[in-house]
Structure 1
Amino acid sequence: MDPDVRVHIWKITETEEALAKGISLTPHCQERYEGMKSELHRRGFLSIRHLMALEGYTDHDLYYDTLGKPHLRDGSYISITHSYNFTGIIVSNHIPAGIDIEKQREKILKIAHKFTPVSEYNPIKDPIQLRRKLTVVWCGKESLYKINSTVGLSFLKNIDIRDFGLDQLRTTGLIHLNGNTSFFDIHFLEFEGSTCAFALQLRSDASEEYLIPNKKTDP
């Protein structure tokens, strides 16, 4: 992976009081923090600020646009994710990047038709394997959406993830919207019943890379 791209993942085990130590929030983020009813959400919010500190940033280096997308004031790219007891960030000096973590849940089998053509996964008969694969697809699409959070962008109609084997830990994806196509490199990993995917935007002429077939090992 590009050395100018860094990924950090935090497992939340600390108390809210411990996580709050040494953290200074902007008025906007302080208001968001105080409005969170869930303690786990507050702990996740604070843990992300510790992850930012690993990159030399404070909350004051961060701002959000009108769609709620985070940005760094120095022009580097950042994406943030929180799922249950895990949080994560990706920071990229030059390449647009996105990250998502999701818990692997049975629910994804019921909602898959809303974000991907489910007929493509009919050959997978093992429900656990299907759940794992669909979670990668969801995380991949979510990470692409975080890069290009355009109003009207549809996971089902506008974002495509190229097929992959679960042992590959990598695939590619594209966003096709308003006659324009963008290509992305996607990495994924699984841990403690969760899935993380992070995406990096490829150069504009990367269509040939996207079309190279993956070597699959899944049925």
Structure 2
Amino acid sequence: MPLYKTLTPNAQTTVKIWKITESYDELIAPITLKPQNMQRVLGMKSELHQRGFLSVRHLLAEFGYTDNDLFYDENGKPHLKDGKHISITHSFTFSGVVVSEDVVGIDIEKQRDKIGVIAHKFMDYEFEYLNKRDVDYINKLTVVWCIKESLYKLFATPGLSFLKHTLVIPFTIEEASTVSWIDYNDEKYRYQAEFLEFEGFTCAYVMP
């Protein structure tokens, strides 16, 4: 089983990343899905999405959970029945899960030039320190997106805007961490953000 990486940013938090190399049949054979999730998988038009969904269930198993231990609230945020916090992501051939005693968010994205076209839709303040001429500009944009997506998942509040309500403090790729903020309804929330790059992908996760 290709568990790709395990990270422990602190004593309460564990991140696991899966590289999806198996076929659909190989992924589904050893796991049991709730009837509604089996129906959901069978209804997916893309095998890539099916394999992503199933790989997340393998990551749950790595944590000692089953599909039955996971449920979603009315905002689409995942929860575990034992009360621990969880966040889930998958992108193309990688998936990730973070489990913690604290609220957490995680995101994985493929590094692609086209993110530069939509940067103005999710960034404002960050343009003050990001330079289009930098060789790592696309990488940094992807880090910002991943952090903001992680914040969005963590906060799980309708109406939260990447552009208006989130910001990422200046960072370098080498530092692999920074501070991020949610400024929403006159309240400010500070989160530690950590990130890493692998095989043309970026992963970020945020914690209080």
If the length of structure 2 is used for normalisation, what is the TM-score?
0.92
- Aligned counterpart, 1:154: 161
Once the two structures are superposed, residues 190-217 of structure 1 have per-residue CA deviations (whole angstroms, 9 ceiling, x without a partner) of 001100000112xxxxxxxxxxxxxxxx
After TM superposition, give the deviation of residue 122 of structure 1 in Å: 5.3
- The letter of the residue matching 2:127 is S
Question: How many angstroms apart in 2 are the aligned matches of 1:78 and 1:122?
Answer: 31
CA contact (8 A) 1:121 1:130 kept: no
Q: Give runs of aligned pairs for residues 63-212 of structure 1, distance below 5 A.
A: 63-92=71-100, 94-117=101-124, 119-121=127-129, 123-126=131-134, 128-201=135-208
Question: How many angstroms apart in 2 are the aligned matches of 1:123 and 1:49?
Answer: 39
- The letter of the residue matching 2:96 is G
15 and 122 in structure 1: CA distance in 2 versus 1, 3 angstrom threshold: closer
Structure 1 ranges of 4+ moved more than 3 A: 121-124
After TM superposition, give the deviation of residue 121 of structure 1 in Å: 4.4
54 and 120 in structure 1: CA distance in 2 versus 1, 3 angstrom threshold: same
Unaligned 5+ runs, structure 1: 202-219
Find the partner of 1:26 among 8, 18, 34. Answer: 34
- The letter of the residue matching 1:197 is A
If the length of structure 1 is used for normalisation, what is the TM-score?
0.88
After TM superposition, give the deviation of residue 26 of structure 1 in Å: 1.1
**Structure 1 residue matching 2:136: 3-state secondary structure:** helix
Whose strand proportion is higher, 1 or 2?
Answer: 2
**Structure 2 residue matching 1:45: 3-state secondary structure:** helix
**Structure 2 residue matching 1:151: 3-state secondary structure:** coil
Question: How many angstroms apart in 2 are the aligned matches of 1:49 and 1:176?
Answer: 33
Question: How many angstroms apart in 2 are the aligned matches of 1:163 and 1:119?
Answer: 10
50 and 125 in structure 1: CA distance in 2 versus 1, 3 angstrom threshold: same
Find the partner of 2:24 among 16, 21, 26. Answer: 16
65 and 119 in structure 1: CA distance in 2 versus 1, 3 angstrom threshold: same
**Structure 2 residue matching 1:87: 3-state secondary structure:** strand
Question: How many angstroms apart in 2 are the aligned matches of 1:90 and 1:28?
Answer: 23
- The letter of the residue matching 1:15 is S
CA contact (8 A) 1:9 1:89 kept: yes
**Residue 53 in 1 paired to residue 61 in 2?**
yes
- Size of the aligned set, in residue pairs, is 199
Question: How many angstroms apart in 2 are the aligned matches of 1:119 and 1:99?
Answer: 23
More deviation, 29-38/49-58 = 29-38
CA contact (8 A) 2:122 2:163 kept: yes
CA RMSD of aligned residues (A): 1.2
- The letter of the residue matching 2:117 is K
